[in-house]
Structure 1
């Protein structure tokens, strides 16, 4: 983020306070540590503090790192440390930062049923919160479109199990899943006339249950 303004003020601290007020009226959410100050003209008190006194001129620039850049740099460092050749594409949609990692070598970071990928996503979110504790951004990290493929697979699986439950009228308890995967199945079956879904247990041993609607 590079945004600057020039202010005249009696002291540098007054200029900083004024700049913070102006920047935060624009919802930039910055603090003094996010600012870089350049003195363009030094203030002068003049003779006896009155005659010839002159305000100083200060150029104040916001140097706060954008959250989208924090996410990108964090993931790129993971790839660098793992010595993996992959591209990182990052876009922001309102309060969601989507990080897409593309490259066959990066597929090893998906892990069993996406567990390693979920850990990378969790750590990236922590990196954002460490830089900006007031961040309301969510992070979604994907590798080689794994999440969309996994979602498609889960929807098919959910419909298959639901058909079996309708036929046998017997409750089915699925394998342990993370909240993201459970939401996919809940959503896929929420309008089904014959079954209901709910979760039981405590993460990471929380599973989804598909039950015949009596």
Structure 2
């Protein structure tokens, strides 16, 4: 996308709208400078001048880039989504609100993870240092999923303790495996470890060998 364009028109507004159309941006995304004021000239003919403006694209922050990226995706999907932002010490949280947003979650959050990955790529595209981290959630899905996994970990750990046989869970992403490991890390009768290669890496729950 061009960083700046110059356009003319019978009025300043006409010249500005012409530039916005070429840039495919809204007015809030640009700064503009009037280079030539329009004049009607003598009898509206002799000496008449068109308005001329220089329109410059505003530089977005990484967070604004991420929001713009998401809004374009949701627009193409014809989804009405409200993005609630929260800034933490080491990352930003975007919690998506709206109706029928299950399509953005996918099986076990796989679509959500992919959306989060692409959003972080977009936000950090022009950054060489101090990259930002964005966590995307949908209607607090990640919190509910974490609670579900913690309950699952406790239930399976008790089963392993009673039976003495290890249990291998279904493949999970790194974040979800960490939830299982953390939930059981203080259980002195149970051990957990990950086995296999991505994307099929699994958590194994077994009796601790003392």
Confirm whether residue 103 of structure 1 aligns to residue 101 of structure 2. Answer: no
1: CA distance, partners of 2:73 / 2:128: 22
Aligned-residue RMSD, C-alpha? 1.6
Confirm whether residue 200 of structure 1 aligns to residue 195 of structure 2. Answer: yes
* Cα separation, partners in 2 of 1:148 and 1:183, compared to 1, 3 Å: same
1: CA distance, partners of 2:160 / 2:100: 40
Confirm whether residue 212 of structure 1 aligns to residue 195 of structure 2. Answer: no
2: CA distance, partners of 1:83 / 1:207: 36
C-alpha displacement of 1:211: 0.9
- The one of 115, 118, 123 equivalent to 2:118 is 123
Deviates more, 1:134-143 or 1:202-211: 134-143
| Structure 2 unaligned blocks of 5 or more | 1-30, 34-57
Q: TM-score, normalised by structure 2?
A: 0.70
**Which one has a larger percent strand, Structure 1 or Structure 2?**
1
Runs of 4+ in 1 over 6 A off after TM superposition: none
- The one of 104, 122, 128 equivalent to 1:133 is 128
1: CA distance, partners of 2:116 / 2:130: 15
| Structure 1 unaligned blocks of 5 or more | 1-35, 39-62
Tell me if the contact between 1:85 and 1:105 (Cα under 8 Å) persists in the aligned partners: no
Q: TM-score, normalised by structure 1?
A: 0.68
Give the secondary-structure state (helix, strand or coil) at the position aligned to 1:202.
coil
- The one of 163, 167, 171 equivalent to 2:166 is 171
The number of aligned residues is 154
- The one of 154, 159, 164 equivalent to 1:159 is 154
Give the secondary-structure state (helix, strand or coil) at the position aligned to 1:176.
coil
